[in-house]
Amino acid sequence: MHSIMATYSETNFNTKHYDESRPNYPDSFYSTLMQYHSEGGTGTQLAIDIGCGSGFVAFKLTQYFDKVIGTDISQTMIDSCCNNPLAANKPINFFRAPAEKFPSVVEEDSVDLVTGAECCHWVNHEKFFNETARILKPNGTLAYWFYGDPVFMDSERANEIYMNYCYNSSQEMYPGEPFERYMGPYYEQPGHEYFRILLNNVQVPSDKFHSVVRNEYRPDRDGENTGLTSLKIEKIWTLDMFRNYVKSWSAYHAWMKDHGTKYDIADAFIDELKAECGWENDTELRLVFPTVYTFARKGCKVRRECGAQ
């Protein structure tokens, strides 16, 4: 099996397709983030986006910060960011680095904001929290968020098929199968399980951070009340657009590497949805994504650093 890092680091990985196929984050969420950050009072000199991928969060942060650094463990992703025409006109730099170790150019107690979008389920959390606390200014903001598995709002059968392809093993479900027909075993663990449960079993360490805010939204549990979160991601996609989303998954690429000569598993997934739900390639689907965001402020070494009396 291939790890997610190996998949996204392959030189032939299509970063443009990845960027275009993935949901983005609404401006309302960035407003929520910046409101929280402004209350900490550290300023807007420097932000770092870890696991920056193709860079859309890092580039967005240049609207709010004097300087932005994006890091990713994939050199393919970093090259894509550096080659983006936006990089030539923005106060932004990109470095290949793991989330657990910031580049040497980043000094202790120097960073106003650290963000991690759609990536913190893959990191070593203890090391990441320690390293983030080291480089943030006192009262600086740590913010990480992601969307989970989309919910088909108009078809429970589609949700069942989705769970099979994303989490189950056909060889376990149907002993004697000649090869694995689902992508569940091709996801790296424990990251994929963290993703499934929206990282609800990982706590921000209270000895390093304070003022923790965690907002979890699940459309299947909470309904479609948009007032519950500013990180509301809803898409009206055709089945063909959903196919492109599937093809951006790390597990899709890992499965295809092992079995791609047999058939395209994204096509098999789509064909089953069409057969079971009566859909066509141009059928419009209403998808709402569960989301979660966590904000926290770095604790102060000395109380007076936070302005306390």
Instruction: Convert the pLDDT of each residue in 62-98 to its tens digit.
Output: 999 999 999 999 999 999 999 999 999 899 999 999 9
Whether residue 234 is contained in a domain is answered as yes
DSSP state letters, 158-225:
HHHHHHHHHH--HHHHSTT-SS--SSGGGS-TTHHHHHHTTTTT----TTTEEEEEEEEE-HHHHTT-
Would you say residue 38 has pLDDT above 50?
A: yes
Q: Is the pLDDT of residue 113 over 90?
A: yes
Residue 94 lies in a domain: yes
| % of residues, the chain, pLDDT over 90 | 87
pLDDT above 60 (res 2): no
Burial of 186 (0-12, 13-18, 19+ CB in 10 A): buried
Q: Is the pLDDT of residue 8 over 60?
A: no
Q: Which two tokens stand for residue 93?
A: 């730099």
What is the structure's pLDDT at 21?
61
Q: Considering its fold, how many domains does the chain have in total? A: 1
Predicted pLDDT at 15: 43
Residue linked to tokens 């951006």: 248
Does a structural domain hold residue 305? no
* 202: containing domain: 4-298
Task: Grade residue 20 by pLDDT with cuts at 50, 70 and 90.
Answer: low
Asked whether residue 241 is domain-assigned, the answer is yes
**Weakest mean pLDDT among 6-10, 47-51, 220-224, 292-296:** 6-10
CATH of the domain at 258: 3.40.50.150
pLDDT in tens, 193-219: 999 999 999 999 999 999 999 999 999
Within a domain: 309:
no
CB contact at 8 A, 171 and 258? no
Answer whether residue 24 is part of any domain. yes
- Report if residue 138 sits inside a domain: yes
pLDDT of residue 7: 47
Write down the mean pLDDT value for the chain.
91
- Where are the strands (E) in 46-201, listed by range? 46-50, 67-72, 92-96, 111-117, 136-147, 151-152
Q: How confident is the model at residue 1 (pLDDT cuts 50, 70, 90)?
A: very low
Residue 303 lies in a domain: no
Phi, psi angles (nearest 5°) of residue 75: -65, -30
pLDDT number for residue 300: 82
